[in-house]
Amino acid sequence: MPISGAKNSALAILAATLLTAEPCHIRNLPQLVDVQRMIAILEAMGVQTARLPDGVTVHPANLQGASAPYELVSQMRASFFVIGPVLARLGYAQIPLPGGCAIGARPVDLHVKGLQALGADVAIAGGIVEARCRGRQGRLQGTHIYLDYPSVGATETLMMAATLAEGETTLENAAQEPEIIDLAGLCRAMGAHIEGEGTTTLRIYGVDALHGADYEILPDRIEAGTFMAAAALCRSVLTLTPVVPAHLGAPSPSCRKLGRSWTFWTIARCGWTVGRRGDRPTSKPCPTPVFPRTCRPSLWRCSPSAMATAPFKKRCLKTGCSTWRNFAGWGPTFGSKAAWRW
């Protein structure tokens, strides 16, 4: 079973290409609507793109102005990523507030506070976020930033912005997701100096300019985790390739409770084998390195095969419990602690 490139990595990586005026070749790009929308946003900002068999080449030399089109940004939350690279490179950015998130509203206050800490004047009016560097020669200034919550989006936005800031920037309580590591990999390939990705503390040493790069996106751990759950549910053997085993450490123990075992044959392939009817799985969604939030529905579906009460804890956003409502029609009941029983 082929595993696509990570969508969550791809969106931030495409935005990061705006940090340079030189061409960037992005490979293993998943063929998804959100990815095409992000490319359309770049094109609307004057960036030239050329499709590759497995990705895209981005030519950002002709980045025109600092405004992203509302009709595109409003369709996708991840489009807000462009504010960090555009502000860092041009000294000014005007980006509509993001939309298009199916699980409810998620504020961008951490992004805004972080950009302000880096020396930007930020104003929000009429659904538009306008940011301008007040530093010397319109450049952001390195600083110390503590994130109140380890937001992936805020970590990515501020990391990108800090690559071109003057001096050293420290991000504490940063997100640790593999997508952060992937984005840091591209930035480093472009000449950025970044330390600590994958930990709670990031250090970024700003440089004057970044250059182009040829970069391959990591495999999608969420897609791989979904197929792993499918193999566990069907009590079958499934080979997934490519995968990064270290990125699958959180879903795997939960599936082992269902009586499934797994074997890695190489760094790029993993296999599931059938086992006995297992114990109930458990899931408490947390930021990485615990349990990936997006993998929960797949694991929930495996619970009937365990024939047990399966406790799942969920911190809901406005519409984030829609999956539970859909599952309720299949027979499970939910208790006050978000457990279900078959």
pLDDT digits (tens, 9 = 90+) for 95-151: 888 764 443 345 789 999 999 999 999 999 888 899 999 866 789 999 999 999 999
Q: How confident is the model over 48-78, as pLDDT tens digits?
A: 999 999 999 999 999 986 677 788 877 787 8
Distances (CA, A) of 261 to 86, 255, 277, 338: 46, 8, 12, 27
What's the mean pLDDT when you consider all of the chain? 79
53 Cβ partners below 8 Å, 6+ apart?
A: none
Q: What is the DSSP letter of 166?
A: B
19, 163 Cβ separation under 8 angstroms: yes
Query: What DSSP state is assigned to residue 80?
Result: G
CB 199 within 8 A of CB 173: no
The larger pLDDT score, comparing residue 64 to residue 34, is at 34
Catalytic residue set: 101
Q: In this predicted structure, what is the pLDDT of residue 250?
A: 53
Scan for tokens 């199916």, then name that residue: 102
Q: How many helices (H) and strands (E) does the chain have?
A: 11, 17
Instruction: Flag whether pLDDT at 208 surpasses 60.
Output: yes
The model's confidence at residue 251, banded by pLDDT at 50, 70 and 90, is low
Phi/psi of residue 97, nearest 5 degrees: -60, 140
Angle at 177 (CA atoms; ends 204, 251), nearest 5 degrees? 165
Other C-beta atoms within 10 Å of 136: how many?
A: 9
Confidence (pLDDT) at 101: 41
Q: Which residue has the higher pLDDT, 53 or 300?
A: 53
pLDDT for residue 323: 53
Q: Is the pLDDT of residue 281 over 50?
A: no
Per-residue confidence (pLDDT) for residue 79, from 0 to 100: 85
User: Which one has a higher pLDDT value, 253 or 4?
Assistant: 4
Q: What per-residue confidence (pLDDT) applies to 72?
A: 81
Examine the pLDDT at 332 and tell me if it is beyond 60.
Answer: no
Could you give phi then psi for residue 332, rounded to 5 degrees? -70, 155
Spatial contact of 131 and 82, defined as CB atoms under 8 Å apart: no
- Contacts of residue 22, defined as CB under 8 A and 6 or more positions apart, other chains included, come to 60, 61, 210, 211, 212
SS3 102: coil
Q: What is the mean pLDDT of residues 9-36?
A: 96
DSSP state of 285: -
DSSP string, 66-77: SB--HHHHTT-G
Q: From residue 120, how far is each of 45, 111, 187, 194, 303 by CA, in Å?
A: 21, 11, 21, 21, 48
The reported pLDDT for the residue numbered 237 is: 76
